[in-house]
Chains A and B, each alone.
Chain A
Amino acid sequence: MAKRKLVHIKVNGRDHEAEIEPRVLLVHFIRDVIELTGTHVGCDTTNCGACTVLLDGRPVKSCTVFAVQAHGREIRTIEGLAANGRLHPLQEGFKEEHGLQCGFCTPGMIMSACALLEKNPHPSEEEIRWGISGNICRCTGYQNIVKAVQYAANKMA
């Protein structure tokens, strides 16, 4: 078996340390080691984006990153958005605008939208659609997802 590596990764502001095999994917580190199961494994082939988290503020598909690559770095997951018991504007937007049905794509969708709004606080509709183009939703047809992101953009402005 390969030599295990000791990793230090900050997750939603908290430091975590673990000894893991190098082949552990970041998504499995998040779900199985840190036990934050909001991040989902959807396609496992780098397509659907259900596994999207922020790595040093930038969106990545955590099924296509090894946890060891995140050593010494910071990740944010869906669990890290709500603050002091209050929903993040994006979470509120998805609630108000019915931006989800089954909810499976939603954490990844929100993390991509979060990265978008932090970089571009006033996106056009086209920029929103482009910003979430790495996330697939089978339920909604994206209309209400776009509205949810617009809601959040207005709230955060």
Chain B
Amino acid sequence: MKIRARARIRAIRAALRGIRPTTPRIGAQKAGSIWGRRAKRRKGIAFSDIVFACVIVFLFAPLVVLLAYSFNASKGGSFTGFSLIWYEKLFLDSGDLWRAFGNSVAIALTAALAATVLGTLAAVGTSRYGFWYRGYVKTMSFIPMILPEIIVGVSLLVFFAGVGLKLGLVTVWIAHTTFNIPFVYLLVSARLDEFDPSVVEAAHDLGASEVQTLLKVILPMSMPGIASGFLTAVTLSLEDFVITFFVSGPGSTTLPLFIYSAIRFGVSPVINALSVVMVAGTVLLVYPLRNFLKAFAAR
């Protein structure tokens, strides 16, 4: 008991001085777990929980409004009665929309695949070896993530014009692969940093070749990272508007671009219905993944 109290005081002093506590955490796997980190909560409603509740209302309000309007019998304006007319239009009378959707899916899957292959290989390389351009790889995998999309979009447009590549599905695919790579790289790297490098050494010592080690040890072990990288890439790609806006040409309209032009033409209740279908679809798709997501976020 005494030791624990002393350790605590040392930690708090260190923290007050702005230094991370160096107190040995005896046998604790996760910081603070021996002290029952979540054991005590004050009674009553905390300020932070009120903020959280307000944020949830704020985040969901627009979606609820969309849901309500999607069942509205009239076009925009006040609510005149329940109707499924916009859903009917969406599914039976929206050829362009579904073509755009098809483009989006095709590009998302192929771009995510390419990014996953490139990003995973690079992550394996930089996590296990030091080599002369390792710093370059790391930097180049970080910058595209933080650079505003408009810059990436504009520079790619100028680049494609410069090399004479006609804007279309191919340029969109290249652009999407490019902005997907850093995310795959980051996620796979994080996974690779986690596992014990001696396993790989053991495989080598037991006579496995580099390719065998890669295929039988490294890749299977980093599968969670690779899978989340791929899924992230797919969703990023389905979602992207700004970059796609610059690098798409005739015949390569993606769903976000289609929605954009629909919005520009004014309120279109079909978009309400589409939004509801998309939200419902994502929730159904994502809900089973939530524990996985939490495990990742809380690591």
Is the A/B pair a real complex?
no
A interface residues, Cβ below 8 angstroms from B: none
B interface residues, Cβ below 8 angstroms from A: none
